[in-house]
Chains A and B, each alone.
Chain A
Amino acid sequence: MEREKGEVWIFAEQEDGVLNDVALELLGKGRELADTLGVPLAAVLLGSGVEGLAAKLFEHGADKVRLVDDPALKNYQNRSYREVMIELIEEVKPQICVYGATSLGRDLAPSIASALRCGLTADCTELGIGSYTDPVTKEEFANLLLQCRPAFGGNIIATIVNPRNWPQMATVREGVMKLPDATPGKTGELVRHEAKCLATLELPVEVLEVVRAAKSVNLKGARIIVAGGAGVGSAENFKLLHELADVLGGTVGGTRAAVDLGYCEHERQIGQTGVTVRPALYIACGISGAIQHLAGMQESQKIIAINTDKEAPIFSVAHYGIVGDLNDVLPKMIKAIKAKAAV
């Protein structure tokens, strides 16, 4: 069937001419999907004066970059980006289109899905290709996009398929897919598109002011993370975590509970509704291990759990465990690290 020859698309989100990391992460997974299906992988790039970003997209795996470069697309607006994407999808007919589950992606993707009346699965943690049999009609569908996402507060993982209304669309949170290695010098086909809809489009929104908050915490890039949960007990005790992070050259993170209790800032939240991390070392202090939190950190290479409750679920994902009070254990750890460093 014709539709099965459709390309795999990833939406190459950029802001002020800077590509969002999630676009490159999606290219890694997109490459796998496109190779399995034997179709091209295209990055769709919208903006004004952004052609220069194509090189980076090629180097990270895109066969094609589909570019709509227009002054009207300088700043993201739901109406303009949505209309351009709809026009492009109807013209080129990709079979899969994946977006980053960023603020922008979660604003844009559902609007497109609504207009095209196709499915959209939010916050997928894994994507693959597989078959599906309709349990009622017994109709078989080969080579569908399998979209895995946690549901019900992360307690179950559901696999979703859209067998009929294509394109198959999904969003993926930042940090969930691995950033692929770049192949320096790799190029591809740059396809320029004119969006006809822009000529007559009236925007219902006027952006008056944008204030970007300086990002002071970089959890995603951290090699070592010291994270605390409700069990830390107080904002005062949280200082111990900062101290440990300092001697390790790491970054401090927290669970949703720790953020809600005011122990640490919101930008430090790790988990399903926060940031997903995969550091070399994750030290979980006073974290019981709610599934929503585990979803955001269980792929860390080494996990140390420190908790007074030996039954806490965090121990089931940990490589090393210490059953004890963090107010007792952390100072010992800091002392031991300083001692080793001095040797």
Chain B
Amino acid sequence: MGYNCVVCIKQVPDTGKVTGDAMKADGTINRAALPAIFNPEDRNALEAALRVRDAHGGTVTVVTMGLPAACAILREALMCGADKAYLVTDRRAAASDTLATSYILSQAVKKLNPDLVFCGRQAIDGDTAQTGPQIAEKLGATLVTYLEDLEIRDGFAYATRNIGTGTEKVKAKLPALFTVMEKCGELRPEQVRLAMKYKKARAPMELAKETAEAEYEALKAKGLDIGQWNLDDIGCDLSRCGKAGSPTLVNKIVNVVLAGGEFQEFQPTDEDVAKLVGSLIADHTIG
């Protein structure tokens, strides 16, 4: 028998690439200048799901919440072997914090009724690592965080977790949600055949309005449709979505200003280096 796997993925700005070009004159970040990428640990999460399917059969469905542009990573996932992709997109979901986001995603995941759910441990734009555990709580699924290795046997998940001070092996009941770390394995490359096929896959909102309906029907016939859900489609209580459903509010944002104190420069010469060492010994910093 196979397992029904769902992978929650996110498109994120590549925060590792915050360099000169991405900084505006006032020192703030120009988000538009950063490339949008498939969140690194979500790639590992997809790989973990694909391996379960390789071993046991079943399906792998990817879900993302975001603007239609996020379909880029859904297509990438399809090209790597995912069976089906869904975009959750709705203006009313804007400004959701992790609590609201996890609620909306949990509603989407419920609709797919999975045995196993995979999320990256954390996304590089927020680094909160909260959405996965919160989806699990809302689904009532067993939470297994920091996954490094997974084997499914006799209907149970045998997982190795990284618990910071070492590793832990657990046996977990299904349905379960895993937050996945890099060690689980790098995402397999896109397959040429799938890449050729799925580069044409589209969600309705990516199509020209006038012809969208007919075009989408044609895509469906070829299996090139990306599913699209709004908050009503997945039965969301609107008071739990977007700004209304987000208890945390941003009060203030300040740009990081590097604190500069007294600064003394030394030359890379024997005399100067000895002088520096001397002053450190004099004030008891060393010695």
Measured between beta carbons, the chain B residues less than 8 angstroms from A111 are 133-134, 136-137, 143
**B230 CB-CB contact with A under 8 Å:** no
**B196 CB-CB contact with A under 8 Å:** no
Contact A159 B252 (CB under 8 A): yes
Segment of A88-96, A160-168, A227-235 engaged in the interface with chain B: A160-168
Contact B133 A107 (CB under 8 A): yes
Measured between beta carbons, the chain B residues less than 8 angstroms from A205 are 142, 144, 170-173
Measured between beta carbons, the chain B residues less than 8 angstroms from A294 are 258
Q: A310 to B264, alpha carbons, bound, how many Å? A: 13
Query: Which of A122, A164, A204 is most buried by chain B, counting CB atoms within 10 A of its CB?
Result: A204
Q: A322 to B18, alpha carbons, bound, how many Å? A: 26
**B169 CB-CB contact with A under 8 Å:** yes
How many residue pairs bridge A and B at CB < 8 Å? Answer: 240
**A317 CB-CB contact with B under 8 Å:** yes
Contact B276 A322 (CB under 8 A): yes
B interface size (C-beta, 8 A): 79
Q: A208 to B157, alpha carbons, bound, how many Å? A: 12
Contact A106 B270 (CB under 8 A): no
As a 0/1 sequence over residues 199 to 233 of chain A, the CB contacts with chain B under 8 angstroms (1 = contact) are 00000111111111101000000001000000000
Q: A294 to B163, alpha carbons, bound, how many Å? A: 26
Name the interface residues of B144-193: CB closer than 8 Å to any CB of A. 144-146, 158, 162-173, 176
A333 CB to closest chain B CB (Å) equals: 5
Measured between beta carbons, the chain A residues less than 8 angstroms from B131 are 110
A115 CB to closest chain B CB (Å) equals: 6
Considering only CB atoms, which chain B residue lies closest to A290 in the complex? B18
Measured between beta carbons, the chain A residues less than 8 angstroms from B176 are 204
As a 0/1 sequence over residues 304 to 330 of chain A, the CB contacts with chain B under 8 angstroms (1 = contact) are 100000000101111111111100110
Contact A165 B162 (CB under 8 A): no
Segment of A42-50, A52-60, A335-343 engaged in the interface with chain B: A335-343
Measured between beta carbons, the chain A residues less than 8 angstroms from B167 are 210-211, 213
**B251 CB-CB contact with A under 8 Å:** yes
B137 CB to closest chain A CB (Å) equals: 4
Asked whether A158 and B250 contact (CB < 8 A) given A114-B137, A204-B172, A208-B169, the answer is yes
A interface size (C-beta, 8 A): 87
B30 CB to closest chain A CB (Å) equals: 11
Asked whether A302 and B285 contact (CB < 8 A) given A120-B99, A281-B280, A324-B268, the answer is yes
Name the interface residues of B46-85: CB closer than 8 Å to any CB of A. none
Measured between beta carbons, the chain B residues less than 8 angstroms from A79 are 142-143
Contact A158 B165 (CB under 8 A): no
Contact B128 A122 (CB under 8 A): yes
Q: A104 to B145, alpha carbons, bound, how many Å? A: 9
7 examples of A-B residue contacts, CB within 8 angstroms: A161-B248, A208-B171, A291-B256, A320-B266, A321-B266, A322-B267, A335-B270
Q: Other than the known A211-B167, A319-B264, what 19 A-B pairs have Cβ atoms closer than 8 Å?
A: A103-B146, A110-B129, A110-B130, A114-B137, A114-B138, A115-B137, A122-B128, A151-B125, A152-B18, A156-B254, A160-B251, A165-B247, A204-B176, A207-B169, A224-B286, A248-B286, A333-B273, A336-B278, A340-B287
> Which 5 residue pairs are nearest across A and B when measured between Cβ atoms?
A324-B268, A153-B15, A103-B164, A119-B247, A119-B248
Residues of A at under 8 Å CB distance from B? 15, 78-79, 82, 102-104, 106-107, 109-111, 113-115, 117-123, 132, 134, 146, 150-165, 204-213, 215, 224, 248, 272-273, 280-281, 289, 291, 294, 298, 301-302, 304, 313, 315-325, 328-329, 332-333, 335-337, 339-341
